[in-house]
Amino acid sequence: MASEDPTPTADNVPPLADRLFKGSALMIAMRWFVRLLGVISTAILARLLTPDDFGVIGLAIILAGFVSSITDVGVVMALIQNTRAERKHYDSAWTIQIGQSTVVALVILLCAPFSGEYFGDDRVPAVLALTAASIVVEGFINIGIADFRKKLQFGRDFLFSAVSRFLRLVATIILAVVLRNYWAIAYGNLAGAAIDVALSYIMSAYRPRLSLAAVRELWSFSQWMLAINSIKFMLERGERFIIGRAISTEMFGFYSVGYDLASMPTIEVVMPIVRAVDASVALIKDEADRLRGALVNLFSAVMLFALPCALGFLMVSREFLIIVLGRPWLPALPIIKAAVIAATMEMMILVVQRVLIRADRIRTIGIITGLQMVVLLAAIYPIYSAFGLAAVIYGKAILSAVVLVIMAVILGRQAGISARSYFGAIIRPVLAAAAMVAVLQYVGGAEQWNVLAALLLKVGIGGSVYAGVILVLWLMAGRPDGAERFLIDKAASMLTRRSD
């Protein structure tokens, strides 16, 4: 095995409800700290560099990301899925990881000379060459850190991410101060890859060796992950590849940075929750009652936290944009508003997808997402030509909503979750979030107040309204079990301990 710690089994996994909320709360706090470092980095770089610089890097990343996605066999996911993984599986996964990164880099280098003509920017090929070097370096990351997720070691997982992000931030900012152009981000990515490799060997005692002993076993799972990762990339980023040659580099900078900022609230709430239960779902997938209860709690927690964060961010997006990026970035505001809706739908789909994968329905996911990708790619350019850039994102959101319903129905049949259970998990957060949005419509914005004051006022009012409405609805519902009860019980317990 990759380390001496015992791998959790279905018999020794902590109670799912308790683990779900405790682990999720810890991971949310940790990931928001890491994300804060990212926001600080973006805020500083936005003032040292221009939207055009971000656009050049964004175009290079799109092509590199596409090549990576069509060769990503998901070896880490395969290890997490395999509760009986041995050294041969870890070593084979590391070997595949190195080979995969090398192939990706070679393909990128072959495509680089043509990228400048495709995107209409001669700076992209050189950036792609440096991106290829970064990918090769990343391939040597210690596969032993997969145990941070596999063995539910959330603290170590956070520490790795936090230290990595901080050192990347420092390196990139120093380069930006010195270079004052897009090369700062490109060299920062290379430095970040080297940092991740070094950190992975410092934090994990596992020392991988080259091996092909378990490649066939890993491939039985990874062949579908390869398809899903490719499709997932095209669903999330495919429109950038298509519209990247139709708009200016500066506008592409607005688009890529704006979309990434808009995705932040839901990603940083949903992903920790998903990761907190990811391995456990695989262990109890054959225990129908236990799985059903865990999934209802999962949806309840996701909606309770993700929905107010997404819609709250939508209501303060103008103030946030001005504070973090500055007024020169205001053309990105329509993109941010549309992307908040699309990102929320995408994150909800991710939750259901991950559960279905853990329930061995990976083939079903592959087929559905494949059809979704075909429809999306066929519609992107006509929508852009007729209605503009923001309409493309709203189109993605509508398509994602349809797919979400389909997957939720499939999961409901798989796990025995009724429509009533789904409804009970989402109704209170939906009503409370709607009340929050309605109230914030009447609060003055950045033009009536100091920008920071407007942001703080809206956050304070919005959070108070949401929490108050949630509490009232929960009491009216008879104080049912779920995320609200867990949080209130924990708060009461903490207050009791302090008073004692």
Closest-CA residue to 148 (of 23, 42, 238): 23
The residues spanned by each domain of the chain are 49-246
The answer, yes or no, to whether residue 337 has pLDDT greater than 80, is yes
Confidence band, pLDDT 50/70/90 cuts, at residue 2:
very low
Record the pTM.
0.70
Confidence band, pLDDT 50/70/90 cuts, at residue 495:
low
pLDDT of residue 177: 92
Compute the mean pLDDT over every residue in the chain, rounded to the nearest whole number: 80
The answer, yes or no, to whether residue 306 has pLDDT greater than 90, is no
Torsion over CA: 74, 77, 79, 84 (sign): negative
More reliable by pLDDT, 77 or 288? 77
Give the list of residues 6+ apart from residue 326 with CB closer than 8 angstroms, or none. 46, 47
Question: Given the structure tokens 């695989």, which residue do they identify?
Answer: 282
Confidence band, pLDDT 50/70/90 cuts, at residue 462:
very high
Instruction: Average the pLDDT over each of 59-63, 159-163, 349-353, 444-448 and give the range with the smallest value.
Output: 444-448
pLDDT of residue 10: 40
The answer, yes or no, to whether residue 29 has pLDDT greater than 90, is no
Residue 191 and residue 210: Cα distance in Å, rounded?
25
Q: What is the pLDDT of residues 163-183, one digit of tens each?
A: 888 898 899 999 999 998 989
Angle of the 249-283 helix axis to the 333-358 helix axis, nearest 10: 20
pLDDT of residue 443: 83
Confidence band, pLDDT 50/70/90 cuts, at residue 249:
confident
pLDDT of residue 280: 57
Closest-CA residue to 354 (of 271, 422, 288): 271
Q: What is the pLDDT of residues 124-136, one digit of tens each?
A: 999 999 999 999 9
